[in-house]
Structure 1
Amino acid sequence: MDDKRNLIFAVLLTGLILFGWPYVASYFFPTPAPVTSSAKTATSPAGAATSDVQVEAAPAKTQAVPLSSALQSTARIVVETPKLKGSINLEGAKIDDLLLLTHRTALAKDSAPVRLFAPSGTKDAYFARFGWAGTGVTVPDDKTVWTPSGNKLTPTTPVTLSWTNSLNQKFDIALSIDENYMITAKQTFTNGGTAPVEIANFALLSRTGKPADATSGGSIFTHIHIGPMGVFDDKPNYDWGYVDVAENKGETSFTSTGGWLGFTDKYWLGALIPDQKTPVSAKFRASGDVYQAQVIPTRYTSVAPGAVLNSGSRLFAGAKEMAVLDAYSKKLGIPYLDYAIDWGWFWFIAIPFFWILHWLFGLFGNFGLAIIGLTIVVRGFMYPVAQKQFASMAQMRAVQPKLKALQERWKDDKPRLQQEMMKLYKDEKVNPLAGCLPIVLQIPIFFALYKILLLSIEMRHQPFVLWLKDLSAPDPLTPINLFGLLPFDPPSFIAIGILPILLGVTMWLMQRLNPQPMDDVQKQVFAVMPWFLMFIMAPFAAGLQLYWVMSNLVSIAQQKWLYSRHPALREQMARDAQEKAAAKAKAGS
C-alpha cells in the first residue's frame, strides 16, 4: 500500500461526500417550503404543567426600524464590561443591545465591534427577556416599563429592575454580569395581594432572521451545526435547525432537569441557562422569520399572600471562546456549554488538539506559528504509524517480482491465483492490509484538525506573516491579478492563492518520492490530483491551507528519512523504473 496515494484517495472521497452530497440531496430530495404557524396561548390550572404556556408572541413582520431610532426611543440603562457594551431596554426589561468589544466586524482595527443583540423591530433583532407567567395574577409583559435601582450594569455594580401591579404584587429582576459574557438574573415575586397565585419565572431568546452562516445546500457550513441547540438531561442535542423548527408546526418542545438552550452561530452564542436543579420545559418556536427559544419550569408554584418566591436563571451572550465556555461548565456546573462548538464525531481528538494549539498560541504569540507547531506535533505523533506503513510498503515492494510471476503463471485461473498469492503472503510474512490500517487511523485526526481550524474563533482575524493578515479567510494573494497589481478581483473559483499553490507543489513533490503506479491510467489520475486539490482547497481558510502545506513538508522530510532506513525499497523502485522504461522502449521498436 502506498501511504500518500491512499491518504489522497481517502481525503478526496471524504471531501466529495461532504461537499458534493448537499448538491445531490437538494436536487433529488428538495426541502419542502417551511410551514409557519403561531402557537396559541394556553392557560393551565393551578399547579399544572406549564409546557404549553406561550410567554411571548412573535412580533408581526413590519418595516424595519433604524437601529439608532430604536435605541433612542425608550429609556435604558447602560451595560459595560471589558468584553461587552450596550444597554438594557426598560420597556419589557429586554437585554437587546450588546456589542462584543474584543471582536471586530472586519480586519481593520478601527472597524466596528460585532453586534450580537439588537432591539425588537430592527432588521436583525435579537434579544433576551426574563419574566413570569401565571394564573390569577397580572404579570409584567414586553410593554411594561421597569424602574431600575441604578443607571449602569457593570461587573461591580449590579442593577435591580422593579415593577408592582395594581394588587401590590411586586416583581424584581436582580441583574449581575461578570467580566466575560454571563448575565445572572435573580427573579423575586412578592405576593402583596390577598389571594394565593400560581406563578413561574421564564427566560426567552428571540431573533429575527437567520445568521449569514446558516445557509443551506452546498455551503461549506452544512456539516457544522448552526441554529437552535440545547443540552437536555445531560445530552447535547444538535438535531434541530431553523428549517426543522419551522416545519414542525412552528415549535418543538423538550423537558429536562438542568441543561441549557439557545442559538449557536459559527462564532457566537446566545444561551438560556435555567436553574440546574429545577425541571423545566424548553421550547423552540418559529413564526415567519422570527425564531424563539423559551425555558420555563414544568409546574407553577403556589405563592400565598405575604409570601415570596425566589428563582433565577442565566444568559450567556457572547463569543464561543473555548477557555471561557470550559470555565463556565466547570465552575458554574453548566453541562456541555463548550459543546456549543460543534466538534463533530471526533471531539475526543479535536478537544485535546485544540488545547495544544491554544498553548502553542500563548507560547509563540502568533497563530500561524502555533499551527506550524501543531503540525509538527501531529506528524511526530503519527511517525510510528508512518514508519510501520512505510515498512509494509517496503515488504510489498520486495515481493512484487514474485507476485508478477504468479500473475503471469495463473492469469487464466483466478481462484488458483488468489490461493497462491495468499500462500506467498504467508510464506513471506507480509500483510497486504497492514498499510491500509494506518490510513484509517489518520482520517479521524485529519477531520478533527479540520474542525479545529475551521471553527476556532481564536484564529479569526489572526495574522501570520507578510500578506497573510487573516488566517480565518482564504489566501488573498493570487497570480490571477498579478498579486494585486491588476485592479480587479478574480472570481473565487479561480482565485488561487500562494498557499494553495504551495499545497499543490508540495503534494506533487511527495508523489515524486513515492513509487509510481503500475497502471498508466492510475498514474495519470495521480498526476492531476495535486492540482485538483489545489483548486478544492483555495476557498478554505488560510490557516487550513497553512496546516496542509506544513504537513506535506514534514511528510517529505519523513519520507527522506525513511528511505534512508530502507535502501532496498529505493533500489527496488529504481529497478522497476528501469524495467518499465525497457519494456516501453521494446514496445515502441
Structure 2
Amino acid sequence: MENKNVLLAVILSTAILIGWSFYFENPEEAQRKRAEIQGKTETQTNIQKPEAPQPSKANPAKSISRNEALKESDRVLIENKNLSGSISLRGALIDDIILKNYRETLDPNSKPIVLLSPKKYEQGYFVESGWATTKSDIKVPDNNSLWQIKEGKKLTPNSPITLEWNSREGLIFSKKIEIDDKYLFKITETVRNDKNRAVDLFHYGQITKNAKPTTENFYILHEGLIGVVDKNLKEETYSAVEKEKKTYNGKSGWFGITDKYWMSAIIPESGKSFKGEYSFTNNYKANFIISEPNTISPQKSAAGNIKIFIGAKEVYPIDSYAEKEKIDRFDLAIDWGWFYFITKPLFFVIDYIFKVVGNFGVAIIILTALVRSVFFPLSNYSFKSMAKMKVLQPEMLRIKELYKDDVRRTQQEIMALYKREKVNPLSGCLPILVQIPIFFAVYKMLFVTLEMRHAPFFGWIKDLSAADPTTIFNLFGLIPWEPPTFLMIGIWPILMGITMYLQQKLNPAPPDPIQAKIFAWFPFIITIMLASFPSGLVIYWTASNILTMAQQYYIMRKTTVKTV
C-alpha cells in the first residue's frame, strides 16, 4: 500500500508540474511581454525606430553555385590561422568564410567546413552591419551598395582594411574591419556629415541565413537562433521563428544563429540600449538596432562599433571572448544543458586528462574511474545493503510462503527482518539516482563539445562523438552488407549490454516473477537504445559497469548475514 501511495504521489506531482508550465506563463515570458507593453507605451520620443534594412526578397530565377555567386562581386580576401574567405564589396557583406582546421568527414582530404556563403546561393548565409534612418530623403548604404577599398589589400590579424561608400548627397560612410587569430571581427563604422543639416542614424547588425540545416533535429541540442539579452538566454528554433517574429529590448547581450558546432553572432556596442529581433520572411534573420540615434551635426562625424563572431564553438576561445571582450554569458553559445554546473567542469577535467594521455577514449575511461571514486562511499553503502538483501532472499521467500494468505502479516515480518538486519531496501536506488545527472552530463559533454568531434579511440572507433560503426548483423563487417540504421548494434554496445547483464546477476532478483522477467530484458533493451549513441558515452558506461561489478563483487564476498 505504501508503494502505491508513493507512486500516486509521484504521478500527481508530475501532473501538477506539467499543468503549471502548460497553463501558466513562465516568469521570463511574462517579463518579455511586460517589456513589449512598456515599449509600446513609451512616450519619450515620437520617432518610429527603424528595422534593420532587409536583404532583397527576390529569389534568383535559377539557383546558382557558390563559386558563381562569389564571382558576382569584387572581393577583399580574409586570412588567419583558422579562417579563410572574403568580404563582398557589394554590400560590404561578410559572406564567404571557410573553417580551415575542420573538415566535413574523417577523411583528411575531404572538403573543409564552409560556414558563410553569398546571398544568391541557395545556402546563402552572411553577416552585415551599417546604418538605418527614419527619413526617406537620407540615402544610406544597403546590402547592394558598391563599396571601395580605401586602405589595405587583405584582411589579416596584422593588416586591417577600410572600406568607403559615398552617398553623393553629403554623407560619407567608412568601415574599418579587423580580425584576430581566431574567430572575432571588430568593425568600426564612421559617418561624416557634409550636409548643411543634422542627420539621425541608427547603427545595426544583422545575420541572414537562407535555409535551415538539412541535418536531423537533435532533441537535446539547440540549433537555430540564439542570443542573450540582459543576461537572459533567448533561444528560438527555426520553426518557431517561421510562425512568429520575436523581439527583445535590452542594454547588453548578443544575437546569433547556431548549428551544433558552428555559429555566427553579432555583439552590439557596449553600454547602448538596443532592440533585437528574430524573424523569417524568405530567410532567417537575427539582428539588433541601437535604440537611440546618432545625431550627426553638419561637418561632424560619428561612429558605431560592432563585434562579430564567426567560427567554431571551441570552449576556450568562447570563454576567452566572454571574459576579455566582456560579452554577457557568451559561454552559453555552447549548449551545456540543464546540468551546466556539472557538464562544463567535466569537460575541463577530461580535457586536462586528454592533454596528459593524448587520447580522448582513454581520458573517458580515466574520468569514469574518477567519478566512481567520488561515489565510492555511497556505492559501498548501497552494495552492502544489496548484498544483505541477496543473502536475506531465501528468508524473505520463506516468510512469504509461511504467511501467503495474510499480506499484512507478510509485510510486517519482512519489515521486521529488515530492521533486525539493518537493511534499507531502497538504498540500492540512491547511488543510481545521484549518478543520473552525471550520466546525462557526460552524454551532453560528448555530444555538444567540438573537441570530441572526430576524436579517435582505438581500432574501429575513429570518432568518439559518433555511434559505433560496426554491427552484429553483418558480422562486424565480414558480410558485405550495409544494414539499416536501427540494426546498427556494434561491438561496444554489445560489450556494454554484457556488462549490464553480469552486473544484474550480482544483485538480488526481484521477488515478483513479472518484475524479474522485465529486469531480465533490461540489458537487451538498453543495448538497442544506446547503440546509436556516441561511442564515447557507451565506452563510459561499459567502463563504469566493470568498475561497479568489481566493487560490488568484493563487497558481496565480505558480507554475511545471520538470520534468525
For the aligned pair, the TM-score class normalised by the smaller chain equals 0.7 to 0.9
Tell me if structure 2 keeps the 8 A contact 1:84–1:101: yes
Residue 231 of structure 1 corresponds to which residue in structure 2? 228
In 1, the alpha carbon distance for the partners of 2:331 and 2:48 equals 29
Q: How big is each residue's C-alpha offset from its partner over 1:77-104, in whole Å with a ceiling of 9 and x where there is no partner?
A: 0000100000000100000000011110
Partner of 2:343: 350
What is the SS of the residue equivalent to 1:487?
A: coil
Corresponding residue number in structure 2 for 1:190? 192
Aligned equivalent of 1:209, options 192, 208, 211: 211
Go from structure 1 to structure 2 and tell me whether the alpha carbon gap of 1:484 and 1:396 turns closer, same or farther (over 3 Å shift). Answer: closer
CA contact (8 A) 1:101 1:114 kept: yes
- For 1:112, the aligned partner's letter is K
TM-score normalised by length of structure 1: 0.83
Aligned to 2:242: 246
Q: 1:376 aligns with which of 362, 365, 369?
A: 369
Give the match for residue 140 of structure 1: 141
Decide whether the 8 Å contact of 1:47 with 1:300 is kept in 2.
no
Structure 1 residue 50 displacement after superposition = 5.7
Instruction: Check if 1:56 corresponds to 2:57.
Output: no
1:157 to 156, 159, 172: 159
Change (3 A) 1:436 1:123: same
Q: Report the equivalent of 2:67.
A: 68
2:112 alignment partner in structure 1: 113
Aligned to 1:520: 513
Judged with a 3 Å threshold, the aligned counterparts in structure 2 of structure 1 residues 523 and 431 are, in CA distance, closer, same or farther, namely closer
Shift of 1:256: 1.1
Deviations 1:344-392 (CA, angstroms, capped at 9, x unpaired) = 1111110110110111111112111111121111112222221121123
Pairwise CA distance, 1:434 = 3.0
Instruction: Name the residue aligned to 1:171.
Output: 173
Moved more, 166-175 or 124-133: 166-175
Q: In structure 2, the residue corresponding to 1:560 is in which secondary structure?
A: helix
Q: Which has the higher contact order (CA 8 A, sep 6+)?
A: 1
SS at match of 2:63: coil
Report the CA distance shift for 1:437/1:340 in structure 2 as closer, same or farther (over 3 A): same
Using the alignment, how far apart are the partners of 2:273 and 2:203 within structure 1?
A: 12
1:397 shift after superposition: 4.4
Name the structure 1 match of 2:9: none
Q: In structure 2, what is the Cα distance between the partners aligned to 1:264 and 1:496?
A: 31
Tell me the distance in 2 between the aligned counterparts of 1:53 and 1:501: 56
Choose 150-159 or 476-485, whichever is displaced more: 476-485
What's the CA shift for 1:118?
0.4
Within 2, Cα distance between the matches of 1:409 and 1:562? 31
Amino acid paired to 2:66: L
Moved more, 272-281 or 418-427: 418-427
User: Partner of 1:576 in structure 2?
Assistant: none
8 Å CA contact 1:256, 1:281 repeated in 2: yes
1:540 pairs with 530, 533, 536, which one?
A: 533
AA at the equivalent of 2:171: Q
Distance 1:163 1:46, change over 3 A: farther
Indicate the residue corresponding to 2:385 in structure 1: 392
Q: Secondary structure at the match of 1:313?
A: strand
Residue number in structure 2 paired with 1:37: none
In the alignment, the residues of structure 2 paired with residue 497 and residue 403 of structure 1 have an alpha-carbon distance, to the nearest angstrom, of: 40
Q: Which residue of 2 aligns with 1:268?
A: 262
Q: Partners in 2 of 1:186 and 1:537 — Cα distance?
A: 50
Q: Distance in 2 between matches of 1:242 and 1:419?
A: 58
1:61 partner letter: N
- Residues 73 and 88 in structure 2, CA contact (< 8 A), matched pair in contact too: yes
Cα pair distance change 1:111/1:198, threshold 3 Å:
same
Instruction: Tell me how far 1:52 sits from its aligned partner.
Output: 5.0
1:279-319: per-residue Cα shift (whole Å, max 9, x none)?
1100011014x100111111222221122212211111111
| Native 8 Å contact 1:47 1:299 kept in 2 | no
**1:558 offset after TM fit, Å?**
1.9
Deviation at 1:410, TM superposition (A): 5.5
Asked if structure 2 preserves the Cα contact closer than 8 Å seen for 1:214 and 1:227, the reply is no
Matches within 5 A, 1:84-483: 84-136=83-135, 137-148=138-149, 149-213=151-215, 215=217, 221-238=218-235, 240-248=236-244, 251-288=245-282, 290-397=283-390, 400=393, 403-404=396-397, 407=400, 411-412=404-405, 414=407, 425-426=418-419, 428-483=421-476
Q: Distance in 1 between matches of 2:429 and 2:485?
A: 35
Change in 2 beyond 3 A, CA 1:283/1:465: same
Cα distance 1:50–1:354, how it changes in 2: closer, same or farther (>3 A)? Answer: farther
- Over the residues paired in the alignment, what is the CA RMSD in angstroms? 2.5
Please give the alpha-carbon distance, in whole angstroms, between the structure 1 residues aligned to 2:105 and 2:316.
Answer: 23
In the TM superposition, residue 520 of structure 1 has moved relative to its aligned partner by 2.8
**Match of residue 11 from structure 2:** none
Unpaired stretches in structure 2, ≥5 consecutive residues: 1-13, 15-41
Could you tell me which residue of structure 1 aligns to residue 492 of structure 2?
Answer: 499
Higher mean displacement: 527-536 or 274-283:
527-536
What letter matches 1:143 in structure 2?
A: N
Matches of 1:150 and 1:558 in 2, distance apart? Answer: 66
C-alpha separation between the residues in 1 aligned to 2:118 and 2:225?
20
Q: How many Å apart are 1:463 and its aligned residue?
A: 1.4
